[in-house]
Chain A
Amino acid sequence: MKKVLIVDDEPNIIMSLEFLMKKSGYEVFIARDGAEALVIVDQEEPDIVVLDIMMPQVDGYEVCSYIKNKKQLGAKVIFLSAKGKEKDVLKGYESGADFYMTKPFSTKKLVDKVNQLAG
């Protein structure tokens, strides 16, 4: 069972993401901010990380870089952010993301993408 880490600070969004991931058959972990995410990433070594950008203390870009810089972590990263400007998207890919998706998002597309990346 693949592991999915959901990182977001909005409880209502987490709720929907958690539902979707569970329903698609993933083991779901939840982090409410960047710092928490870093701990879980190290502990659980998830396969997929669905990552928000705007978060207190440690932002999504840093989390992504951290994951991608640690070779033993093979996690795929999907950004899920309200920041939709081109430069934000670029920055997301530069930090090593596998996919960038803007909020509000299509649940179907997200699930497809997660599945695709999880292989």
Chain B
Amino acid sequence: MEIKWLVIILSFIYLVLLFLIAAWAEKNAEKRWLKSPYIYALSLAVYCTAWTFYGSVGRASNQGLDFLTTYVGPILLAPVFWIILRKVIRISKIHRITNLADFITSRYGKRASLGAFVTIFCLLGVLPYISIQIKAISNSFAILANEQMAHSTSLWFFEDTAFYITIALAVFTIIFGVRNIDANQKNIGLITTIAFESTFKLVAFLAVGIFVTYGIFDGFEDVFTAAASLPDYERLTVINKNEYGDWMWLNMLSALAFLFLPRQFHVAVKENRDESHLRKTMWLFPLYLLFINVFVLPIALGGKMIFAGQSIDADTYVLAIPLAYDQHFLAIIIYLGGFSAATSMIIVSTSALSIMISNHIITPTIIKSRRLSKPFEGKLNLVVLRGRQSMILLMLLLAYLYFKYVGEQFSLVSIGLISFVAVAQFTPAILGGIFWKAGNGKGAFSGLIVGFIIWFYTLVIPTVANTGVIPPDFVVKGIFGFQWLSPQDFLGLSSMSYIVRGLFWSLMFNLFTYLIVSVTTKRSSQEINQAEIFVDIFKYSSSYESSVVWKGKAFLADIKNLLAQFLGIERTERAFKRFMYRNDINEELLEADYRTVNYAENLLSGVVGSTSARVLISSVVKEEKAVDISEVFSILRESQQYISDNKELTIKSRQLQEATEKLKEANEKLRQLDQLKDEFISTVTHEMRTPITSIRALSEILHDNNDLDQEERSQFLSIIVEETERMERLINQVLDLEKMESGQLELPLSTLQLNDVVRESLNSIEQLILGRKIILKTELQPELPAIKGNKDRLIQVILNLVSNAIKFCDQEAGEITILTNEDSGLVELTVMDNGSGVPEESKELIFQAFYQDKNQTLKKQEGSGLGLTICQKIIEKHGGKIWVKNNGSNGAVFTFSIPGIMQLNEESINSG
């Protein structure tokens, strides 16, 4: 009796402690660590319920490693939190979605019926789960208080401790979880408390684990060594080959449950304040699961050994072991750990479900029916709040009844798994909804119905049958006596466990129904667009906030009145003031613009859910016509089109700019070429004027003076001939050069000895040199490498150089030297004269065609007309170079070099 009251008082103190923590957290909401990813990750550990706390050990003792599947699934899922959870979170933030039903209805066209169905499904799936939390608390209480527990069914509810626990929890949750009407607000007190409970249950569980492993036994090794003598040791510690299939399915099941259990959605999505918290959660949460599982097997095996021969429920080992060793303090800690696991689950689950029920069942019903809504006019916020609160009480009472009349006969784990299978039915609709645009509402709805029916038939009916409501043999015999239609052997697959079979068929039928119906039926335009927003949320989330733009006009006062019903006058005024200030909207306006209407809808959906919010808002918006979302989308698409057009335009204009730049360059080049051409022409014509002047003058003289003597006459005539030849040469040179410049000059190459070419050239000019009494020296180096060259052209070059030398060498004692030699594979020819040399500044210029400065009036070096230009072209065609140096004061030194054949070979080898 004393212990019983102690436990009750401690439980109460624990609840008060939770209260204090929540109150403290709300007061210190701005503290950074309260908003940290660690708190978030710990809050996700609401996943670990009393089922984990007591049930894991129970399951490990009975079935071995199976218990791990519940945790391996979420751990395997952790790496893709970033892909799946982040998307769900982002979508929910944008659409102000607060629960699963809201999520599904938002995606599939906001059908109120779908939302109600999802809600009922969740309720049916999760109620038993809540009931096993009550069962766990009640059982652990009984064990601690040393009461008989098996016969609680026979007690009246007012004699049953569990009933009072249920009521206490309901009151606690009501005060605690749903004080605030706006479901959209983050409940930092709740989350901090859940995080605390997660920590507490982990510490408690680790304590009993350490006690068993290191207190009773001597470490892990000792436990397992001792356990090896157990008859079913092998079975419990090794995964049976036949169970691999079950393992796979159960892992998948727990992963899906982790995503879609209403309480998980509540903490992971609704209460998420920062997507980036997922990054740390991706390893923190698996780490938590690792810690809470590490001692399960030692406790299970230890319990089996300690209680060998006694009929003690393995689900209670965690508590029974410390009691058996008289560790009362530890036992109480463990009791409180289990209590915390159960309460956290109950608080979050019932809060989440109450929001779902009120938003998807109560509010739509009230606002749709005038008769119902009339008496509540002006008090709708209270309706919502009271509705939620009474739902919590109702749910807990239902769970209590389930526990009392049904749940007693099942282990914690199997009831938990049935819940898991129920929420797993949301997988096609939700994952399909965020990754598959073609998925539609009809598909989702029919898939869910099919999944629900099979879930109910294969998994729920057998549990109910045991209570006597349905004839027990129905489970085995099935409809019309077809065994393959019986719940137990539904469609065969008898090798799978009962849970896995139910999961497999329900999920398969659900999935295929979803796919087939989606593909074969049409989507409404609203669905098409919601699908687009959901699937491409990261593309759109920055660009707009709401899924609908209201077209109709509404009076600001109407909207404010509507909101005040739910939010209260003061809060409504405050919210509007802030919104209008932020968006720079004139508060004096009578009519609300579409932004304000949208904002109001968002505020409302936080309170009553998006479906009801839509209905409420449309009641105050005149014309009642929202801009069809397809219009929004066509606007969005258009603007995106503009953006991409614009991008293209930018690219095009850049290309254009580049082209213009190139054109400018080409133009500049052309201009320069044109100028060169002009200069060339003007220089050529200028050069031609000189001989023509002589010819004309002399011709006129000859014409006008018949009295000229014979000698003069013939002198003049020979000058005329000479000048004519000069013109002819000039013309030929111009043509030559033109050919070379335009690349038409072909040089047939043959293997030559440069010395031979030099000799041949000199043959034709020797007479001229000797005639001018010029001394000619030749120093031809024997055994030069052969060259590839065009003999006639090389002769032309040599003659040109020698002619120049003749022209410029000293007039009195002219001397010309011709040298050949080899310099590192290059064959060189040098022509030196002893004239005045080439002015330093002209050394380069003399090779340019008629080079002359624009304003040059000084006559340049004579004879440098086109000859050297042509020489340079010819030598370049041979792959060589030509240049001029001054030999001190002793005249000009012209040299050209051409690669010898040896070097050509080497080059070709190297390059080959």
Residues of A near any B CB (own CB < 8 A): 9-10, 12-13, 15-17, 19-20, 23, 53-61, 82-84, 103-108
Interface flag for B857 (CB, 8 Å): yes
Cβ contacts under 8 Å, A10 to chain B:
690, 693-694
Interface mask (B691-723 → A, CB under 8 Å = 1, otherwise 0): 011111110110011000000100010010011
Other CB < 8 Å A-B pairs besides A23-B705, A54-B857, A104-B692, 13 of them? A12-B719, A16-B701, A16-B716, A20-B697, A55-B858, A59-B858, A84-B689, A103-B689, A103-B690, A104-B697, A105-B696, A107-B701, A108-B704
Cβ contacts under 8 Å, A23 to chain B:
705
Interface flag for B241 (CB, 8 Å): no
Query: Which 8 pairs across A and B sit closest by C-beta, in order of nearness?
Result: A16-B697, A82-B689, A103-B693, A59-B857, A12-B694, A104-B693, A104-B696, A107-B700
Task: Say yes or no: B693 contacts A105, CB within 8 Å.
Answer: yes
CB distance from A94 to the nearest CB of B (A): 13
Task: Say yes or no: A13 contacts B690, CB within 8 Å.
Answer: yes
Cβ contacts under 8 Å, B862 to chain A:
9
Cβ contacts under 8 Å, B696 to chain A:
104-107
Known: A107-B701, A108-B700. A15 touches B719 (CB 8 A): yes
Task: Say yes or no: A82 contacts B701, CB within 8 Å.
Answer: no
Task: Say yes or no: A55 contacts B689, CB within 8 Å.
Answer: no
Kindly state the separation between the CA atoms of A13 and B722 in the bound complex, as whole angstroms: 13
CB distance from B909 to the nearest CB of A (A): 51
Q: Which of A12, A60, A107 contacts B857 (CB under 8 A)?
A: A60
Q: Which of A12, A19, A105 has the most chain B CB atoms closer than 10 A to its own CB?
A: A12
Cβ contacts under 8 Å, A9 to chain B:
859, 862
Interface flag for B622 (CB, 8 Å): no
| Nearest opposing residue in chain B for A9, CB measure | B859
Interface flag for B328 (CB, 8 Å): no
Task: Say yes or no: B719 contacts A83, CB within 8 Å.
Answer: no
Known: A12-B722, A12-B723, A107-B704. A54 touches B858 (CB 8 A): yes
Kindly state the separation between the CA atoms of A3 and B862 in the bound complex, as whole angstroms: 29
Q: Which of B701, B705, B722, B857 contacts A53 (CB under 8 A)?
A: B857
Interface mask (B663-701 → A, CB under 8 Å = 1, otherwise 0): 000000000000000000000001001101111111011
Cβ contacts under 8 Å, B689 to chain A:
82, 84, 103-104
Kindly state the separation between the CA atoms of A57 and B836 in the bound complex, as whole angstroms: 14
Kindly state the separation between the CA atoms of A53 and B855 in the bound complex, as whole angstroms: 12
Residues 704-760 (chain B) with a chain A CB within 8 angstroms: 704-705, 712, 716, 719, 722-723
Cβ contacts under 8 Å, B686 to chain A:
82-83
Cβ contacts under 8 Å, A20 to chain B:
697, 701
Cβ contacts under 8 Å, A108 to chain B:
700, 704
Cβ contacts under 8 Å, B700 to chain A:
106-108
Cβ contacts under 8 Å, A104 to chain B:
689, 692-693, 695-697
CB distance from A66 to the nearest CB of B (A): 14
CB distance from A1 to the nearest CB of B (A): 21
26 A-B pairs in the complex with CB atoms less than 8 angstroms apart: A10-B694, A12-B698, A12-B723, A13-B693, A15-B719, A16-B694, A16-B716, A20-B697, A54-B858, A54-B859, A55-B858, A55-B859, A59-B859, A60-B857, A61-B857, A82-B686, A82-B689, A83-B857, A103-B693, A104-B695, A104-B696, A105-B693, A105-B697, A107-B696, A107-B700, A107-B701
Cβ contacts under 8 Å, B722 to chain A:
12
CB distance from A97 to the nearest CB of B (A): 14
Kindly state the separation between the CA atoms of A105 and B699 in the bound complex, as whole angstroms: 12
Kindly state the separation between the CA atoms of A78 and B723 in the bound complex, as whole angstroms: 24
Residues 814-830 (chain B) with a chain A CB within 8 angstroms: none
Task: Say yes or no: B858 contacts A13, CB within 8 Å.
Answer: no
Cβ contacts under 8 Å, B698 to chain A:
12, 15-16
Kindly state the separation between the CA atoms of A17 and B697 in the bound complex, as whole angstroms: 8
CB distance from A35 to the nearest CB of B (A): 11
Q: Which of A23, A84, A107 has the most chain B CB atoms closer than 10 A to its own CB?
A: A107
Cβ contacts under 8 Å, B705 to chain A:
23
CB distance from B250 to the nearest CB of A (A): 102
Interface mask (B810-854 → A, CB under 8 Å = 1, otherwise 0): 000000000000000000000000000000000000000000000
Kindly state the separation between the CA atoms of A104 and B694 in the bound complex, as whole angstroms: 8
Task: Say yes or no: A13 contacts B704, CB within 8 Å.
Answer: no
Cβ contacts under 8 Å, A58 to chain B:
858
Task: Say yes or no: A107 contacts B859, CB within 8 Å.
Answer: no
Task: Say yes or no: B697 contacts A107, CB within 8 Å.
Answer: yes
Cβ contacts under 8 Å, A59 to chain B:
857-859
| Nearest opposing residue in chain B for A53, CB measure | B857
Task: Say yes or no: A82 contacts B693, CB within 8 Å.
Answer: yes
CB distance from B854 to the nearest CB of A (A): 11
CB distance from B630 to the nearest CB of A (A): 75
Q: Which of A17, A60, A103, A104 has the most chain B CB atoms closer than 10 A to its own CB?
A: A104
Kindly state the separation between the CA atoms of A52 and B743 in the bound complex, as whole angstroms: 38
Cβ contacts under 8 Å, B719 to chain A:
12, 15
CB distance from B463 to the nearest CB of A (A): 114
Residues 623-640 (chain B) with a chain A CB within 8 angstroms: none
CB distance from A87 to the nearest CB of B (A): 9
| Nearest opposing residue in chain A for B857, CB measure | A59
Kindly state the separation between the CA atoms of A57 and B839 in the bound complex, as whole angstroms: 12
Known: A12-B719, A107-B697. A82 touches B690 (CB 8 A): yes
CB distance from A53 to the nearest CB of B (A): 6
Cβ contacts under 8 Å, A106 to chain B:
696, 700
Kindly state the separation between the CA atoms of A58 and B859 in the bound complex, as whole angstroms: 9
Cβ contacts under 8 Å, B695 to chain A:
104
Cβ contacts under 8 Å, A13 to chain B:
690, 693-694, 697
Kindly state the separation between the CA atoms of A10 and B690 in the bound complex, as whole angstroms: 8
CB distance from B620 to the nearest CB of A (A): 88
CB distance from A25 to the nearest CB of B (A): 14
Cβ contacts under 8 Å, B859 to chain A:
9, 54-56, 59
CB distance from A103 to the nearest CB of B (A): 4
CB distance from B597 to the nearest CB of A (A): 80
CB distance from B507 to the nearest CB of A (A): 97
Cβ contacts under 8 Å, B858 to chain A:
54-59
Cβ contacts under 8 Å, B690 to chain A:
10, 13, 82, 103
| Nearest opposing residue in chain B for A87, CB measure | B855
Kindly state the separation between the CA atoms of A12 and B35 in the bound complex, as whole angstroms: 106
CB distance from A18 to the nearest CB of B (A): 11
CB distance from B778 to the nearest CB of A (A): 31
Cβ contacts under 8 Å, A56 to chain B:
858-859
Kindly state the separation between the CA atoms of A9 and B859 in the bound complex, as whole angstroms: 9
Interface mask (B7-26 → A, CB under 8 Å = 1, otherwise 0): 00000000000000000000
CB distance from B725 to the nearest CB of A (A): 12
Interface mask (B853-883 → A, CB under 8 Å = 1, otherwise 0): 0000111001000000000000000000000
Cβ contacts under 8 Å, A15 to chain B:
698, 716, 719
CB distance from B675 to the nearest CB of A (A): 15
